[in-house]
Chains A and B, each alone.
Chain A
Amino acid sequence: MTCQDHKELMMAYLDDELNDEQKVAFELHLASCADCARDLQEFKKLKRMTDCVALAEPEDRIWDEYWNHLYNRIERGAGWILFSVAAIALLIYGGFELVETVIENRTVGVLAKIGVLASIGGLAVLFVSVLRERVYFWSRDRYKDVRR
């Protein structure tokens, strides 16, 4: 084993993650390598310093309210999906009704009829484009296929 291999093993030694056999082999190497022995002392010091760092606990109310906040988010997500589906259905229905009314109405000029048809057509193109983009990104969603 090279000195570099031993330096990586040094971490497991520091964190008490080596088995007895590995520990003995590592200590044997330490006895013959001043460089690694010096590094070990430095890493020990760093570990002691890092072990002293602890993150502050937030107030209890954060934990008390954690699930409620999350549940509200889940509920709103479902609400938005339902609302969006309904709004799209209503828009499509309204669009057809509007086109039908305008086309059949003889008092409406040709230019106005073309304008209504063009705007409905434009909206349809936008809708299909956004939908296609969504499907494209959904199919590449990094979480979608995470299966363990």
Chain B
Amino acid sequence: MGTVCDQSTAALCDSHQGRREAFEAIVKRHMKDAYFIALGLVGNREDALELSQEAFYRAYKHFDQLNSKGKFFPWFYQILRNLCFSHLRKRRVRKAYESRIGDGGLQAGDPESGSQSEVCDPQSDELADPFDPAMLAERNESNDRIWRAIGQLEEKHREVIVLRHFRDMSYDEMARVLFCNRGTVTSRLFYARQRLREILEHEKGGQNL
């Protein structure tokens, strides 16, 4: 992950190019990272593309607020992850609401009759984010299982798995984009992998991997 946290973005912005040209260069440098991170977080190609572009759009609008242009990516990552997590929450609430209508628990056209906390239970298997294995470069039983299991992880655990395994970030880079220390990264990664193990072992009826 050589390009994510380097200082060359600063040079781009300090150059004599206009704001648009400078931003275009930044987008072209980071668009793949943005798309693949979003894909790892939301598990859907169309949403990942839309969310990554929306994040760049918001970054452009607030570009002047970035004091150190060399730290573009960690700043941008916060926008991207907030958008992705907000999208996931809305999707879960919508899904829970639809499933309750289907069960006859709510009357159609009466979305106000259940509070959000009643409607949304992120731990429910039914409401796990649908991670379609069609997104994978190479499909086999093991890869499909892992991908679906990532979709069942909590957001903070999912993101460390995505950054480490799909963007190949070092612990220091992860600490920079997550605005935490290395210890937190290590700890979060431990709990993420432990949870991943539990999900996979549960699928195999309690057997080891």
Contacts and interface: CB of A to CB of B under 8 A. Distances in A.
Interface string B41-60: 00001000100011011101
Contacts of A9: 186
A10 B190 contact: yes
Select the residue from A47, A49, A57, A144 with max chain B CB neighbours within 10 A: A49
A10 B54 CA distance: 37
B60 A74 contact: yes
Given A73-B53, A73-B57, A67 B27 contact: yes
B15 interface: no
Given A45-B209, A148-B71, A11 B193 contact: yes
Interface in A50-109: 50-58, 62-63, 66-67, 69-71, 73-74, 77
Interface string B155-196: 000000100111000110000000000010011011001001
Given A46-B200, A143-B58, A147-B66, A8 B186 contact: yes
A42 B63 CA distance: 45
Interface string B133-161: 01111100011001100000000000001
Contacts of B171: 12, 15, 17
B157 to A, nearest CB: 12
Interface stretch (B32-40, B97-105, B108-116): B32-40
B16 interface: no
B207 to A, nearest CB: 12
B62 interface: yes
Contacts of B20: 71
B67 interface: yes
Contacts of B39: 55
Contacts of B197: 42-43, 46
Interface SS, B side: helix
Chain A: interface size category: 35 or more
Given A46-B209, A70-B53, A53 B165 contact: yes
B28 interface: yes
A7 B143 CA distance: 25
B53 A17 contact: no
Contacts of A45: 209
B17 interface: no
A74 B57 contact: yes
A66 B48 CA distance: 12
B62 A143 contact: yes
Contacts of A10: 190
Contacts of A71: 20, 24
B82 A142 contact: yes
B117 interface: no
Given A46-B197, A50-B165, A145 B189 contact: no
A39 to B, nearest CB: 9
Contacts of B208: 42
Leading 10 A-B pairs by shortest Cβ distance? A54-B137, A56-B137, A11-B189, A148-B71, A8-B190, A148-B75, A17-B171, A11-B190, A53-B143, A45-B209
Interface of A: 7-12, 15, 17, 42-43, 45-47, 49-58, 62-63, 66-67, 69-71, 73-74, 77, 142-148
